[in-house]
């Protein structure tokens, strides 16, 4: 039963939000209003069966295409590039393109964060929500129900993980979860079947979580919920200079497509069946990674760039921006 629940959860989550992402950021960018600095823009995603990392629009294929692979999250620290995902349903970490399997069992890695040379990865393994630190695993759930950890953020000595647990009793339901140093907080009460905590971000000791409960995008700040827009799901949150950015997608209606909320005010990035998976703010520039009509996309300040040509199904799951040394 557990395997079935987890499989269904992963498939459903991929279908609706094209995963999670993963929106871990360098705090150095917060409050930086210098719009003239040069930057490198990294995007992690998938094209066909390849896990891909784009740097300034140029793809690097992390796998050879012989096995199905996904790249879900990218983080850059001290010139090193970390990407996580899975290859043939095994959680995988790439460091500067060199692959490391985090386990040999059915699993996936959804989010990576690096601080002081410690590498934190959030994901799932055989129904259990997991956190790996430098390759050493920690169980966040006990396996009674299927669970997934979608996002990790580290602030000082505190490690925050956002995710979901699938509760199967008389009726299947889901509960959005936030773990702080392994201690869980329920963000939803299990009333609705479709609840997710997809992304976590910490700024000035405030903890922001983006996700959804049924068909309403949610933003939790220190556990207090804000409804964003009905009929939407939120996939990523980023806080910069006191402004709160959330991206996601609308599931139905005439404006079905990718959404960006700034301080709760919504902007449509595309109405053509697009999904916004990840947001990163550098100075005054807002970068969003996502997908539209099977094409991996990057939006900068609302202007779109195609990362793929549409010949293969593709998705962009995570964006990370680094100032370039002059």
Which pLDDT value is given to residue 253? 54
What gap in Å lies between CA 267 and CA 265, rounded to an integer? 7
pLDDT tens for each residue of the chain, 326 residues long: 333 333 333 333 333 333 333 334 444 444 444 446 799 999 999 999 999 999 999 999 999 999 999 999 999 999 999 999 999 999 999 999 999 999 999 999 999 999 999 999 999 999 999 999 999 999 999 999 999 999 999 999 999 999 999 988 767 789 999 999 999 999 999 988 889 999 999 999 999 999 999 889 999 999 999 999 888 999 999 999 999 999 999 866 555 689 999 999 999 998 778 999 999 999 999 999 999 999 999 999 999 999 999 999 999 999 999 998 66
- Three-point CA angle 252, 256, 257, nearest 5°: 135
User: Residue 29 carries which DSSP code?
Assistant: G
What range defines the domain where residue 232 resides? Answer: 2-29+37-323
Is 57 in contact with 305 (CB distance < 8 Å)?
yes
Number of domains in the chain: 1
| Edge-first strand listing for the sheet containing 128-133 | 107-115, 118-125, 128-133, 136-139
- The CATH number linked to 54 is 2.120.10.30
Q: Name the phi and psi angles at 259, rounded to 5.
A: -125, 150
């Amino acid at each position: 039963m557990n395997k079935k629940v987890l499989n269904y959860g992963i498939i459903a989550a991929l279908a609706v939000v094209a995963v999670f992402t993963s929106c871990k950021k360098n705090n150095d960018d917060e409050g930086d209003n210098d719009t003239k600095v040069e930057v490198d823009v990294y995007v992690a995603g998938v094209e066909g069966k390849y896990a891909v990392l784009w740097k300034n629009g140029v793809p690097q294929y992390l796998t050879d295409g012989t096995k199905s692979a996904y790249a879900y999250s990218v983080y850059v620290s001290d010139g090193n590039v970390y990407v996580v995902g899975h290859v043939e349903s095994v959680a995988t970490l790439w460091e500067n393109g060199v692959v490391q399997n985090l386990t040999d069992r059915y699993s996936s890695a959804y989010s990576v964060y690096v601080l002081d040379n410690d590498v934190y990865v959030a994901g799932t393994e055989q129904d259990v929500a997991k956190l790996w630190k430098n390759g050493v695993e920690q169980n966040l759930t006990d396996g009674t129900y299927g669970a997934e950890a979608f996002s990790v953020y580290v602030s000082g000595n505190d490690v925050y993980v956002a995710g979901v647990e699938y509760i199967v009793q008389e009726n299947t339901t889901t509960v959005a979860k936030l773990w702080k140093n392994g201690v869980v907080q329920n963000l939803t009460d299990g009333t609705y079947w479709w609840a997710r905590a997809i992304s976590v971000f910490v700024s000035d000791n405030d903890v922001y979580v983006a996700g959804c409960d049924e068909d309403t995008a949610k933003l939790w700040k220190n556990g207090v919920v804000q409804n964003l827009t009905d009929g939407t799901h939120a996939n990523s949150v980023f806080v910069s200079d006191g402004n709160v950015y959330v991206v996601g997608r609308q599931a139905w209606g005439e404006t079905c497509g990718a959404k960006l909320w700034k301080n709760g005010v919504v902007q449509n990035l595309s109405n053509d069946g697009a999904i916004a998976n990840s947001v990163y703010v550098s100075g005054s520039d807002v970068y969003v990674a996502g997908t539209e009509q099977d094409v991996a996309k990057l939006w900068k300040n609302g202007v779109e760039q195609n990362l793929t040509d549409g010949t293969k199904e593709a998705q962009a799951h995570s964006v990370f921006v680094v100032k370039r040394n002059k």
